[in-house]
């Protein structure tokens, strides 16, 4: 059983389109995150949710909107995609915030053409 699963694994789309990435965790964790990893491998946090509530929004453009229908799911919707959005997006979860291991999904490689 996959602990943190993301779909799709690959996403190729044109500039200006809107797309979503889904994330689900079956670990019973309270906290979920979205990270963006660029071509230089820099891993940067975008959002943090605790029990469906937004905790952290790290100066991410408004075109990115996370949605957490329940604490096991954290989806990422991106409007008006730009070339600079191309990256690998990782979803992660942890039992609570701080002092604890984060489990990462396998990543979604987004390519905007």
Hey, what are 16's tokens? 């200006």
x/- track of binding to other proteins for residues 59-88 (CB under 8 A):
------------------------------
Using alpha carbons only, what angle is made at residue 28 by residues 1 and 26, rounded to the nearest 5 degrees? Answer: 25
DSSP 8-state symbol, 15: T
Q: List alpha helices for 1-113, DSSP H.
A: none
Q: CA 24 to CA 93: how far, in whole Å?
A: 9
Q: Using CB under 8 A, which of 7, 13, 106, 111 touches other proteins?
A: 106
**Count, residues near other proteins per rule CB under 8 A:** 25
Nearest residue (CB) to other proteins, 31 versus 68: 31
Contact footprint for other proteins (CB under 8 A): 31, 33, 40-45, 48, 50, 55-56, 58, 90, 97-107
């Amino acid at each position: 059983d996959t602990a943190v699963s993301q779909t799709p694994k690959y996403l190729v789309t044109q500039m200006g389109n809107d797309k979503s990435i889904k994330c689900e965790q079956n670990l019973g964790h309270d906290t979920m995150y979205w990270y963006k990893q660029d071509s230089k491998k820099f891993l940067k946090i975008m959002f943090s949710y605790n029990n469906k509530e937004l905790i952290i929004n790290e100066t991410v453009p408004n075109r990115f909107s996370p949605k957490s229908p329940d604490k096991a799911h954290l989806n990422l919707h991106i409007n008006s995609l730009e070339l600079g959005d191309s990256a690998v997006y990782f979803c992660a979860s942890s039992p609570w915030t701080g002092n604890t291991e984060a489990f990462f999904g396998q990543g979604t490689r987004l390519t905007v053409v």
